[in-house]
Chain A
Amino acid sequence: MLVESPPEQRADDAPAPPRRRVARSLGLLVSVAILVFVMLASLAIGAKDLSLDQVWHGLFQDTGSYSDVVVADRLSRTVLGLLAGAALGLSGAVLQALTRNPLADPGLLGINAGASAAVVTAITFFGVTSLSGYVWFAFFGAAAVGALVWFLGGSRGATPVRLVLAGTAISAALYGYIQAVMILDDAALGRMRFWTVGSLSSGSASTIEQVLPFLLVGCALALLLARPLNAMAMGDDTAKALGADLNRTRALSMLAATMLCGAATAACGPIVFVGLMVPHVVRSFTGPDLRWILPYAAILSPVLLIGADVIGRIVTRPAELQVGIVTAILGGPVFILLVRRRRTAQL
């Protein structure tokens, strides 16, 4: 009885009637419209507000004027928000399906702990001080720990509970190391406390170029996994009977989640809450079908992340509040309200 089994299965696992499918497709279009709106807001709003004309000018007729420079700067952090948000949402949804655990977040399998340990090592022992210098360390740490969890979790015989426990155990050991370094080295503490809250302000063209390939491959892989993961939601035996290859699906899901979460964490620090919350919100109106959950999560997660970034720029103008803090403080209450109001769709 380690993992809560859903007490009730939803009756509508059967193919959705055409009207529902139309509604869901329309909803997807509306979500894209909201995303575009939020991205425009992110370009226009900040320490200096720009008009839509100026944004347009900066985007398409860049002449190097003051407002054009501002737009270019905001564009890179907006794009980073788009990519990282989609990555976090997708990896959260995949991991929740893989482990069949509603508490699974992108950090669950030790990926964040690996990235954080690598960053703290980079700061203390290699003297790396620039944000773009962290990226490769963080990504390497995340990937190494993801692989380690996979092998310790039993590789080909991995079960959800074993993966979760292996991830937890490795996180426990790594956080001990991180805390020890932060206690012994004040300089590391000074930098880590800003890195751990998570921020999009590191967004620059070079950061984006570094993580882009991983994000694109990871996104494609995650979206392709919707069908086999759907089968696995019904339990290992049923999934096998339905023809799903359990080991391959698990290995590919781990790979996708590690690439997505590792790259996003490398670029903007450990922002786990997006990946935890958005799949739950999405599931409350799409139901348990991952073919809908994954695209919705990929579109709505950036809405949350970029929206939170914009709000963080407004509330403490001209300074800014890190996006990780705003996401959780705004998203937390919304999440609790949703959990209370709707009959949350179980995994």
Chain B
Amino acid sequence: MKITNTQELYNNHNLFKETKEKETKKIIVCAGTGCVAGGALDIYDEFERLLGEKNLDGKVDLVKEVEDISLKKSGCPGLCEAGPLVRIEPGDILYTMVKVEDCKDIIDETFGHDKPLERLLFNVDGEVYVSKHSIPFYINQSRIVLEDCGEIDPESIEEYIANGGYLALARVLDKMSPKDVCNEIVESKLRGRGGGGFSAGTKWSQVLSYESDMKYIICNGDEGDPGAFMDMCIMEGIPHSILEGMIIAAYATKAKEGYIYVRAEYPLAVKRLTKAIQQARQYGLLGKNILGTDLSFDIHINQGAGAFVCGEGSALIASIEGERGMPRVKAKRTVEEGLWKKPTVLNNVETFANVRYIIMNGAEWYRSHGTENSPGTKAFSVTGNVNNTGVVEVPMGTTLREMIFDTCGGIMDGKNFKAVQIGGPSGGCLTEEHLDMPLDFDSLTEVGAMIGSGGMVVMDQDTCIVEVARFFMNFTQNESCGKCVPCREGTKRMLEIMEKIVAGKANMRDLDLLEELAYTVTETSLCGLGKTAANPVLSTMKYFKNEYIEHIVDKKCHSKVCEALKTIIIIPELCKGCSKCARICPADAILGKVRETYTIDQDKCIKCGACIESCAFHAIEEV
């Protein structure tokens, strides 16, 4: 059914909204990547079976009760740690860690006896939370972009429209000129959520200012930072909000074609976006003469093929053009010569998802959130050694402490906080001293980190920071495209030194060389990947230099992570001299006589740990 004018869209909105309001009893199963991995689809099937069964089996009372329960799938509500998640309306009840066996009880208790099933409710230290929005994880967030994520069915355009979707587009078409739209976005001070933090409105205005027969809108969904998945969450949970943002951008800049570049590792996002595009076309929201106006715009999906560097703008464009995804030296900026040398708006997923809220509520409203120079909210994915991992959306300027300890429930197993790596392999690490620093684009750059796309990996006391730096170096080295020498060779040499350090084979001169290389790579690389590749090394060296020195001089890794630096010893007081360990040692490194204390020849020991397992008296340990 094609909608041919904006009035019809408003009518549809009212109609869908009424229908939606009539559905009072709902079972909403999270069908994000995380919960699906936990078995959410089996849970959905079980509910479907149970509801079908109940309708048939003649229990009159209950049939009446369950007849009008609607069963839905949703995108990710963010609390992935506690998944699979099932939400119940009315009552905003959130059930966590649901299993297939629980489905029957959920229906019987919640709907049959009208009381929540306590054993599945979220609880911390004995305190039980019935409603989703009472859980500290949600109380401390301000979900604007992610408001509908986890609430609506991502595969239903009707639900999106019922919740006010595409009304921003209607407003733009009815009341605003392209220039007005650009100005509104400029005034909102919306900054690109992909990492750079460049003003989105400025990009749009510049693209509008160039005359060209063809202009493009590209959405960067190549979220390659390991540990970041909020863009995935948006693509899977509220795909239409990205399309709406892109269509508005097309109107504002007079672009005719759009591309969404999605990582190959996100098959579900591709599926949901593809479906959303089909639905939007059917409704006349994409294609020729959108909503009966002169605006014609269509969107294609490009799947990545596994290259981190394609998150870089010019490499991404090369990839869409069917080339090796290598960054290009840009004489002119993307806004002037982007895809196929035409003016191009290139924004990140989250940036586009912000647009509809700015249009509906105005730039001033938007600026009332967040900080002066970084307004709005930001979605972060918080992972690592933290209790409530998942996706959170907080106003810019929120502190790390609030995010990690209040929202995400603190460090796992009561351990101590050590550091947080923010911005993935391009970012840096922040320590205890930064916990109360407000997070925004500028404050992070000042301390040598960056917001990046918003990936945040929390590390506890048992994490070896040097090994983590090696891990990131290994990642960027692998992903270096090889075009420019500083990045190709520099990251390789840096990685070699990092490997020497964790193997206990480096000396202090290596550390100086590492630092020098780090600055050279930063200053001379062609693209963002190389320019930021040294950040993890530099920032960990800045805050944890003692750990580097410990690895180099003392040949020790106190977190006991670095294999080569472990020492295995026999505790003399506990050793009974049974000789079992000496017989089991594959390297003949254990010396001694029966009934006397055995010792380990450290030069011969290969640290396999076979002796530790073999000792019945727990007399052997790693130090």
Q: Are A and B subunits of one complex?
A: no
- Interface residues, chain B, with chain A CB atoms under 8 Å away: none
- Interface residues, chain A, with chain B CB atoms under 8 Å away: none
